[in-house]
């Protein structure tokens, strides 16, 4: 017998003895029942009964515990958005150009004859171009309460454009798209894309629409990075910048949280190195990744108020005995996470999640990072600035004084953000955000002020909604945007 076979036999014997000990209490012991684990098998069975690649309705999960506000995310119908196809190559930061590309987009309001009232709205990681309801798609969008007549993005004044980013899966070119050179899905042969690449594609769309200058570049989360990148790439074409719960330099903690999501997703056997199209998708990994993401999107204080330590109700409970705990979701917060993962796992493409989250990790506007990636500061902004922490009229305030102990990278960041020195910028942070902490928004505002931007407006919002505040706090987020754009 070979050594390998001997090792295998010993391991099997050890496993058998352990299993025997676990079930030695009674010869009639029943196999444990774990609905939360068995749900994965049920979902997989449903998927096998459908045409591979189609999206069945989600498997029923445990109690959804939908007792609080949730943003409306949904897979849009391809007939409900416009698609701009560009047959020319798209230059990429880290790879050879894409030979051609598509950008899915939707619009609201009317473009002025001078084409000077356009606002480019950038999305979060998993959002589509459907930011608000339209005639083609009357379903509420992910920023429904922020777009419309008299709202933060006032369609009586502005022409709003929202795109699905390159790398996404809702109409724009991404890993699930067909590679024109092979006739098959790109899968993980899709090139690594950067935030800058996404913005370059958006500006190609603007060129197609005949829009030379944006009134404003507005974004939240991933979109907050894009709004800064738009100003960095094209300072002469961006009139104002709004960056909400974003950053100019991804922090190690945010990178770690996104890495954990990618890890559980890529560990799903169905992921198959990214080549799962026309096969079973990595639905279990997607569900677990979404649960991790949801933890980073909200806050402990909100969940304490919303769920506390409440347990899910049980059908049979003896008044004479304590409630029997379960290894599957037992606390309401657990049922909430289970529901969030279940609702998301078949709505979004796994490879798009991997690629876009990686692009977020790579985003870094420090001068040293830009230089390492051969990103050249536009010549109009290339003069070396005088960096200073001295307060000035429109800069630091009592609520946000100059940093007493600035982080080591702040000067490097300020040098990299030179192109934004003359663009009026609104930076919004949320104190309960654990994904894009307020320190990241503070250093963005500080770096802009150090480089001489006298038109920085910075606000920190309270509340308990964490990172998702930008989706839910219409009064404060919407009010700040409306005031800044007016």
Residue 202 contacts residue 179 (beta carbons within 8 Å)? no
Reply yes or no on whether 85 is catalytic.
Answer: no
d(CA 382, CA 416): 10
Give me the helices (H) in 140-271, please: 195-209, 222-233, 252-266
Distances (CA, A) of 212 to 107, 176, 215, 220, 353: 17, 31, 10, 23, 31
Measured in whole angstroms, the distance separating CA 458 from the mean position of its chain's CA atoms is 22
d(CA 477, CA 461): 8
DSSP string for 278-342: TS---HHHHHHHHHHHHHHHS-HHHHHHHTTT-B---S---TTSPPPP-SSS-BHHHHHHHHHHH
Cβ neighbours for 345, distance < 8 A, ≥ 6 positions apart: 43, 58, 283, 284, 286, 287, 290
| CA pseudo-torsion sign 105, 108, 114, 120 | negative
Q: Which of 122, 339, 400, 467 is catalytic?
A: 467
Reply yes or no on whether 221 is catalytic.
Answer: yes
Q: Which of 338, 433, 446, 468 is catalytic?
A: 433
Q: Which of 126, 194, 221, 421 is catalytic?
A: 221
How many other CB atoms are found less than 10 A from the CB of residue 418?
25
Reply yes or no on whether 467 is catalytic.
Answer: yes
Closest Cα partner for 424 from 484, 482, 483? 484
Closest Cα partner for 220 from 245, 189, 188? 245
What are the catalytic residues?
221, 433, 467
């Amino acid at each position: 017998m070979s050594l390998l076979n001997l090792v295998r036999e010993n391991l099997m014997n050890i496993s058998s003895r352990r299993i025997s000990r676990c079930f030695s209490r009674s010869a009639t012991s029943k196999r444990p029942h774990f609905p939360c684990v068995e749900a994965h098998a049920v979902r997989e069975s449903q998927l096998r009964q459908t045409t591979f690649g189609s999206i069945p309705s989600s498997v029923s999960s445990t109690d959804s515990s939908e007792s609080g506000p949730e943003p409306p995310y949904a897979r849009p119908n391809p007939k409900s958005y416009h698609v701009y196809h560009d047959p020319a190559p798209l230059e990429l930061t880290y790879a050879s150009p894409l030979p051609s590309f598509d950008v899915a987009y939707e619009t609201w309001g009317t473009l002025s004859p001078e084409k000077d009232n356009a606002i480019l709205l950038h999305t979060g990681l998993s959002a589509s171009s459907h930011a608000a309801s339209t005639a083609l798609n009357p379903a509420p969008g992910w920023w429904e309460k922020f777009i419309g007549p008299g709202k933060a993005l006032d369609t009586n004044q502005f022409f709003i454009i929202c795109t699905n980013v390159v790398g996404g899966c809702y109409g724009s070119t991404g890993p699930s798209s067909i590679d024109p050179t092979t006739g098959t899905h790109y899968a993980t042969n899709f090139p690594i894309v950067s935030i800058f690449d996404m913005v370059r594609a958006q500006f190609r769309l603007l060129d197609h629409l005949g829009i030379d200058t944006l009134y404003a570049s507005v974004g939240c989360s991933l979109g907050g990075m894009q709004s800064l990148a738009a100003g960095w790439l094209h300072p002469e074409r961006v009139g104002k910048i709004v960056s909400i719960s974003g950053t100019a330099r991804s922090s190690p903690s945010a990178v770690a949280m996104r890495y954990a999501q990618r890890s559980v997703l890529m560990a799903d056997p169905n992921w198959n190195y990214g080549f799962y199209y026309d096969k079973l998708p990595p639905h279990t990994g997607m569900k677990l990744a979404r649960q991790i993401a949801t933890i980073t999107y909200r806050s402990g204080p909100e969940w304490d108020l919303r769920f506390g330590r409440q347990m899910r109700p049980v059908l049979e409970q003896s008044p004479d005995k304590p409630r029997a705990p379960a290894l599957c979701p037992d606390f309401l917060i657990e049922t909430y996470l289970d529901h969030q993962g279940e609702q998301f796992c078949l709505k979004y493409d796994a490879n798009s999640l991997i690629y876009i989250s990686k692009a977020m990790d790579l985003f870094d506007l420090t001068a040293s990072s830009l230089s390492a990636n051969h990103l050249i500061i536009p010549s109009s902004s290339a003069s070396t600035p005088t960096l200073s922490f001295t307060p000035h009229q429109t800069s630091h305030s009592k609520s946000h004084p100059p940093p007493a102990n600035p982080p080591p990278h702040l000067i490097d960041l300020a040098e990299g953000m030179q192109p934004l020195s003359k663009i009026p910028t609104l930076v919004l942070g949320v104190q309960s955000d654990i994904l894009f902490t307020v320190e990241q928004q503070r250093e963005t505002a500080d770096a802009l002020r150090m480089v001489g931007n006298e038109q920085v407006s910075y606000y920190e919002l309270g509340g308990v909604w964490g990172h998702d505040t930008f989706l839910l706090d219409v009064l404060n987020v919407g009010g700040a945007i409306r005031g800044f754009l007016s």
